[in-house]
């Protein structure tokens, strides 16, 4: 029976496992650490220590054996006692004994038992499956050399670039050779040194260029004829400049009359200026009348403005409360500005007055009209908002 297997299982779930009449194994949490020599990163684990003073049976190991091996408590306690006697005999004979997977016990003269943990498994459940990582140090010189070292281009990219360059060179050489041959051919053709074989091919190709259809020449002659007869419409263009009303008639006459009869075109040219002059005179007459009308209205407007203005006997300012409803058009911080606004409203035909500010106020309110009831004042404000804007409001003062 391997007692160490059961002890190792108990150490995963408990922090202390006591071996009756022998000592107690204590598991302590050890955080992750870096080995300074091997440059390894070890995950968190449980380190096991031994305390020879913990010899009292707490029943943890006995209960685990009885459940695992389906034994009674007495039988499990007897198995633990036999295992302890065997370890003590090994210590007496060889000065050492071992619990496989847990640690090594040695007897030291005058110091009792010494324990050395030799387990390779991580007893911490939270670190289950975490391996030991190797972190090699990076030297500054290696980093600088790696930065300065040029990156080698992939071989595939080199082969592709070489193929593209080769194809480009072949295409360029072909183009240059073709241009050179074309230039030599044209030079020999101009100097008359072209071989007979090439001249035959040239003569064969000439009929294709010389096969100009007859209708093309007919179209060219028709175009020349139209250019010769083009001056006739120019006369008809100058005539509409004088009489825009007859602009539609002139092109029709020019299209109907042939170019060989200029007398037909000249006749309407002479007759057109007469109705133009009459029309111009007819148009100028009403213009002069319309211009004269505002001048005649000016005195009447001033007279109407003067009649709408407040009389000198009526007060233009309101100094105290009257209990009436005033339609307010705006507020001013000075009496001068309020008076200017009142004069502008008077010119528009309103019976405007200025309401002087109350005690503690500096606002001069400009009234468009005033009424004894609120309904009439609201109706007037609604009507005047179309002319004076939406800023009108009613004040009971």
Task: Looking at the structure, tell me whether residues 269 and 363 fall in a common domain.
Answer: no
Instruction: Mark whether 257 and 348 lie in a shared domain.
Output: no
List beta partners, residue 115.
Answer: 105
Same domain, 384 and 321: yes
Look-up of token digits 């030799």: 118
pLDDT at 192: 75
pLDDT number for residue 154? 58
* pLDDT classification of 275: cutoffs 50, 70, 90: very low
Task: Check pLDDT > 60 for residue 201.
Answer: no
**What does the block give as tokens for 135?**
């972190």
Of the three residues 134, 152, 186, the one that is the final residue of a domain is 134
pLDDT of 302 reads 36
Q: What is the pLDDT of residue 297?
A: 40
Query: What is the rounded average pLDDT of the residues 258-269?
Result: 41
Q: What is the pLDDT of residue 245?
A: 39
Contact (Cβ atoms closer than 8 angstroms) between residue 370 and residue 327: yes
User: Which of 14-23, 63-72, 269-278 has the lowest average pLDDT?
Assistant: 269-278
Claim to verify: residue 365 and residue 246 sit in the same structural domain = no
Report yes or no on 141 lying in a domain.
no
Are 128 and 67 part of one and the same domain? yes
In a domain, 90, yes or no: yes
Is the pLDDT at 135 greater than 90? The verdict is no
Q: Can you give the pLDDT at residue 52?
A: 86
- 14 and 93 together in one domain: yes
Give the pLDDT of residue 177.
Answer: 93
Least confident interval from 96-100, 208-212, 343-347: 208-212
**pLDDT at position 326 over 90:** yes
Using a pLDDT cut of 70, give the percent of the chain over it: 65
- Please say which residue of 73, 103, 134 terminates a domain: 134
Residue 314 clears pLDDT 90, i.e. is over it: no
How far, CA to CA in Å, does 221 sit from each of 145, 186, 213, 261?
85, 34, 14, 22
Q: What are residue 86's phi and psi, to 5 degrees?
A: -65, -40
**Does residue 215 form part of some domain?**
no
Write down which residue in 273, 295, 326 finishes a domain: 273
Same domain, 266 and 320: no
Question: Is there a domain that residue 295 lies in?
Answer: no
Q: Do 34 and 111 fall into the same domain? A: yes
Question: Is there a domain that residue 369 lies in?
Answer: yes
Residue 175's pLDDT is 93
Is 86 part of any domain? yes
Q: Which residues contact 172 (CB under 8 A, 6 or more apart)?
A: none
Domains in the chain, number:
3
How confident is the model over 145-168, as pLDDT tens digits? Answer: 777 777 665 555 555 677 888 899
Q: What Cα–Cα distance (Å) separates residue 271 from each residue in 246, 248, 258, 267, 277?
A: 12, 16, 20, 7, 11
pLDDT digits (tens, 9 = 90+) for 54-74: 888 888 888 888 888 888 989
- Write the secondary structure of the chain as one string of H (helix), E (strand) and C (coil): CCHHHHHHHHHHHCCEEEECCCEEEEEEEECCEECCCCCEEECCEEEEEEECCCCCCCCHHHHHHHHHHCCCHHHHHHHHHHHHHHHHHHHHHHCEEEECCCEEEEEECCCEEEEEECCCCCCCHHHCCCCCEECCCCCHHHHHHHHHCCCCCCHHHHHHHHHHHHHHHHHHHHHHHHHHHHHHHHHHHHHCCCCHHHHHHHHHHHHHHHCCCHHHHHHHHHHHHHHHCCHHHHHHHHHHHHCHHHCCHHHHHHHHCCCCCHHHHHHHHHHCHHHHHHHHHHHHHHHHHHHHHHHHHHHHHHHHHHHHCCCCCCCCEECCCCCCEEEEEEEECCHHHHHHHHHHHHHCCCCCEEECCCCCCCCEEEEEEEECCHHHHHHHHHHHHHHHCCCCEEEEC
Kindly indicate the confidence band of residue 219, based on its pLDDT and cuts at 50, 70 and 90: low
Segments forming the whole domain that contains residue 122: 3-134
**pLDDT computed for residue 157 by the predictor:** 52
Q: Is the pLDDT of residue 81 over 80?
A: yes
Q: What is the CATH number of the domain that holds 374?
A: 3.30.70.1070
pLDDT-derived band at 270 (thresholds 50, 70, 90) equals very low
What number is the average pLDDT over the span 295-315? 42
7 vs 117: CA distance, rounded Å: 13
Q: How confident is the model at residue 173 (pLDDT cuts 50, 70, 90)?
A: very high
Predicted confidence at residue 171, as pLDDT, reads: 94
**256 has pLDDT over 50:** no
- Residue 163's pLDDT is 83
| Pair (27, 113) in one structural domain | yes
- Identity of the highest mean pLDDT range in 177-181, 211-215, 287-291, 384-388: 177-181
Residue 180 to residue 139: CA distance in whole angstroms: 63
Q: What is the pLDDT of residue 159?
A: 58
What mean pLDDT is predicted for residues 246-273? 40
Kindly report the number of other CB atoms within 10 A of residue 5's CB atom.
Answer: 14
pLDDT of res. 39:
84
Residue 221 is predicted with a pLDDT of 58
Task: State whether 24 and 125 are in the same domain.
Answer: yes
* Within-domain flag for 181: no
| Closest CA relative to residue 214, chosen from 222, 226, 224, 206 | 222
Identify the band that residue 206 occupies on the pLDDT scale cut at 50, 70 and 90: very low
Residue at 145 is within a domain: no
Looking at per-residue pLDDT, the higher value among 304 and 216 belongs to 216
What per-residue confidence (pLDDT) applies to 95?
Answer: 86
With a pLDDT cut of 90, the percent of the chain lying above it is 9
Residues 14 and 125 reside in one and the same domain: yes
């Amino acid at each position: 029976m391997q007692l160490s297997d059961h002890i190792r299982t108990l150490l995963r779930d408990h922090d202390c496992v006591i071996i009756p009449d022998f000592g107690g194994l204590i598991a302590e949490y050890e955080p992750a650490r870096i080995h300074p020599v091997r440059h390894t990163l070890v995950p968190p684990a449980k380190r096991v220590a031994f305390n020879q003073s913990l010899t009292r049976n707490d029943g943890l190991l006995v209960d685990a054996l009885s459940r695992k091996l389906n034994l009674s408590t007495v039988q499990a306690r007897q198995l633990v006692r036999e295992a302890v006697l065997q370890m003590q005999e090994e210590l007496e004979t060889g000065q050492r004994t071992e619990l496989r997977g847990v640690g090594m016990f040695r007897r030291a003269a005058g110091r009792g038992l010494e324990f050395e943990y030799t387990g390779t498994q991580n007893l911490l459940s939270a670190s289950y499956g975490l391996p030991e990582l190797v972190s090699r140090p990076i030297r500054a010189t290696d980093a600088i050399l790696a930065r300065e070292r040029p990156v080698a281009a992939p071989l595939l990219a080199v082969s592709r670039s070489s193929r593209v360059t080769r194809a480009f060179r072949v295409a360029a050489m072909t183009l240059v050779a073709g241009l050179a041959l074309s230039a030599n051919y044209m030079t020999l053709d101009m100097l008359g040194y072209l071989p007979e074989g090439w001249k035959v091919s040239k003569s064969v190709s000439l009929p294709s260029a010389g096969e100009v259809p007859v209708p093309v020449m007919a179209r060219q002659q028709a175009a020349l004829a139209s250019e010769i007869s083009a001056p006739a419409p120019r006369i008809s263009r100058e005539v509409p400049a004088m009489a825009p009303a007859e602009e539609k008639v002139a092109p029709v006459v020019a299209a109907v009359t042939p170019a060989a009869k200029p007398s037909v075109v000249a006749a309407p040219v002479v007759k057109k200026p007469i109705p133009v002059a009459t029309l111009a005179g007819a148009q100028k007459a009403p213009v002069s009348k319309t211009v004269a009308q505002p001048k005649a209205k000016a005195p009447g407007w001033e007279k109407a403005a003067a009649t709408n203005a407040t009389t000198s006997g009526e007060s233009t300012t309101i100094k105290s409360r009257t209990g009436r409803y005033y339609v307010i058009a705006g507020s001013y911080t000075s009496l001068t500005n309020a008076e200017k606004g009142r004069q502008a409203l008077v010119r528009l035909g309103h019976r405007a007055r200025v309401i002087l500010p109350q005690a503690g106020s500096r606002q001069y309110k400009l009234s468009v009209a005033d009424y004894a009831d609120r309904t009439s004042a609201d109706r007037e404000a609604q009507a005047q908002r179309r002319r004076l804007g939406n800023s009108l409001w009613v004040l009971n003062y």
